[in-house]
A = this chain, B = another copy of it.
Amino acid sequence: MLYFIGLGLGDAKDITVKGLEIVKQCSRVYLEAYTSILTVGKDALEEYYGRELILADRDMVEQEADEILKGADVSDVAFLVVGDPFGATTHSDLVLRAVNAGIQYRVIHNASIMNAVGCCGLQLYNFGETVSIVFWTDTWRPESFYDKIKKNRDLGMHTLCLLDIKVKEQSMENLMRGRKIYEPPRFMTVSQAAEQLLEIVQNRRERGDDLAISEETICVGLARVGAEDQVIRAGTLRQLASCDLGSPLHSMIVTGHLHPLEVDMLRLSVATPDALQDLRMTDSSTYTS
């Protein structure tokens, strides 16, 4: 049996009781290490689970899937994923390979950012399509996520923005020279995401576009959701561009139409009483009392 086990979002103890029992009895345990991170590292997980974990990076999952599946028809193998195994990233490829090889699989679910964002007080019902915001480079500055946020806002929906993670990336030079030297991991912050979004707003304004988002649109920054030191910060897009929410992972929400109860919940997460006032006043087009 191949078990896909979600680890949740915080630390080693966010695994479910069922998940932990399975981890302890599997013959091999892989840890998927390229789509997300916990606030604790591999060592802390190994110590808590009492098991050696095999790090599975993107290359391994995509090119050496047979290695992961080996023997899973006669013994149990676990594939651990931060969040939920079918959360932000699905592992459909690995599922299909297993099924084709006659290996049964089972999913042990857990929280993912896709549902845990509800903790900020915005109703999951009121979210539209989720978008990803990637790091811009000098030559690649995609704006397509803006259009998706616009579509959601036109329907009154909130947008969860998942922020870029760069793990085990090679510089262009190292890639071309075939040197397996990797850049340090990078995680986009709420501030960086807000800056990119502000730049697009400015570009669109200069083009004369109908603006779906402005500097005053209410957004929510979230850091380390589910961990003890989780931070949620509600404010205008401009305010979030200059806030520091600390270490990764960060996510951001661009709000749509705000229900009064949602506003009351967001007010728990604003920095100062003045900001409470702002929240009621600055984006009144999306707020109905």
Contact = CB atoms under 8 A, between A and B. Distances in A.
Interface of A: 6, 8-11, 13-18, 20-21, 84-88, 90, 92-93, 95-96, 99, 107, 109-112, 114-116, 118-119, 121, 123-130, 132, 151, 155, 157, 225-226, 261-262, 264-265, 268
B268 A118 contact: no
A119 B16 contact: no
27 contacts: A6-B111, A9-B109, A10-B18, A13-B18, A14-B18, A15-B16, A16-B16, A84-B111, A84-B118, A85-B118, A86-B115, A86-B119, A86-B124, A87-B124, A88-B125, A90-B118, A90-B121, A92-B121, A93-B261, A96-B268, A107-B119, A107-B226, A109-B116, A109-B225, A114-B114, A115-B115, A128-B129
Contacts of A226: 107, 109
Given A17-B16, A264-B96, A114 B124 contact: yes
Contacts of A265: 90, 92, 95-96
Interface centre among A8, A95, A130, A155 (most CB of B within 10 A): A8
A1 B250 CA distance: 26
A122 to B, nearest CB: 9
Given A84-B116, A84-B118, A129-B157, 20 more contacts: A6-B111, A8-B16, A17-B20, A85-B118, A86-B116, A86-B119, A87-B118, A87-B124, A90-B118, A92-B261, A92-B262, A93-B261, A112-B124, A114-B114, A114-B118, A124-B130, A125-B129, A125-B130, A126-B129, A127-B129
A268 B99 contact: yes
Q: Which of A13, A88, A124, A151 has the most CB of B within 10 A?
A: A124
Nearest to A125: B130
Contacts of A111: 6, 84, 109-112, 115
Nearest to A157: B129
Nearest to A121: B92
Contacts of A15: 16-17
Contact of A155 (B86, B110, B129, B132): B129
Contacts of A99: 268
Nearest to A99: B268
A262 B264 CA distance: 39
A95 B269 CA distance: 13
